[in-house]
């Protein structure tokens, strides 16, 4: 995992290292958020934004899409983060030209890095507990953090500042 990627952190007055996110991830898991919700919440937190409705929507991607252990929620929510930066959001907007290439790059990297896109294949667990919590938070946390780092890299390479959708760093 590449560490030391910088991003905007308004709460602490500037720039913060991505590896400082581990405790925040642990805290969100203990509060009952799943991987797809945590990915989006991390991205929203960078902008000091809250969107409970969007987090509820992301809950449908938990545990491999609705608990089916199919496509990993880290992958699907990561793709959603690219949509926040470059996707169509209103009737008068168009997706940015680089949106599709960022999604493809991330999905390809994810499949290569974790040798699958399926939750069951990646974590090797076949059942989730009855209350919806996961039995393998460390492995999922590592996947989540590495993927969040990769999203930041891809955004940066495409001219975006992770944590500030209004600012295009490389223009």
* Cβ atoms within 10 Å of 48's Cβ, excluding its own: 11
Residue 169 lies in a domain: no
Domain that holds residue 18: 6-87+95-157
Each residue's pLDDT, cut to its tens digit, for the chain (171 residues) gives 334 444 455 444 454 555 567 778 878 888 889 889 999 999 999 889 999 999 999 999 988 888 888 899 999 999 999 999 999 989 999 999 999 999 999 999 999 999 999 988 888 765 555 445 444 556 788 899 999 999 999 999 999 988 888 765 444
Residue 4: per-residue pLDDT: 45
First CA to last CA across the chain, in angstroms? Answer: 28
Residue 164 lies in a domain: no
Residue 163 lies in a domain: no
Rounded CA gap, 6 and 12, in Å? Answer: 13
Residue 15 lies in a domain: yes
6 forms beta bridges with: 17
Rounded CA gap, 72 and 114, in Å? Answer: 10
> Are 146 and 74 in contact, with CB atoms under 8 Å apart?
no
> Are 117 and 71 in contact, with CB atoms under 8 Å apart?
yes
Residue 110 lies in a domain: yes
* Cβ atoms within 10 Å of 171's Cβ, excluding its own: 6
- What pTM, to 2 d.p., does this model score? 0.80
Q: What is the DSSP letter of 8?
A: E
Residue 78 lies in a domain: yes
Residue 162 lies in a domain: no
Total domains, the chain: 1
Q: Which two tokens stand for residue 166?
A: 């209004």
Residue 170 lies in a domain: no
């Amino acid at each position: 995992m590449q560490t030391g990627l910088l991003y905007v952190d308004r709460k602490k007055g500037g720039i913060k290292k991505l590896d400082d996110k581990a405790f925040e991830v642990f805290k969100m898991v203990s509060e009952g958020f799943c991987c797809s919700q945590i990915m989006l919440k991390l991205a929203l937190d960078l902008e000091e934004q809250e969107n409970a409705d969007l987090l509820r929507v992301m809950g449908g991607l938990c545990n491999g899409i609705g608990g089916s252990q199919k496509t990993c929620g880290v992958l699907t929510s990561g793709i959603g983060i690219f949509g926040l930066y470059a996707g169509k959001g209103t009737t008068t907007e168009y997706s940015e030209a680089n949106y599709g290439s960022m999604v493809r790059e991330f999905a390809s990297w994810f499949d290569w890095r974790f040798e699958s896109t399926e939750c069951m294949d990646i974590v090797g667990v076949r059942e989730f507990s009855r209350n919806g919590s996961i039995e393998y938070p460390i492995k999922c946390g590592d996947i989540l953090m590495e993927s969040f780092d990769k999203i930041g890299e891809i955004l940066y390479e495409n001219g975006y500042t992770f944590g500030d959708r209004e600012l295009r760093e490389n223009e």
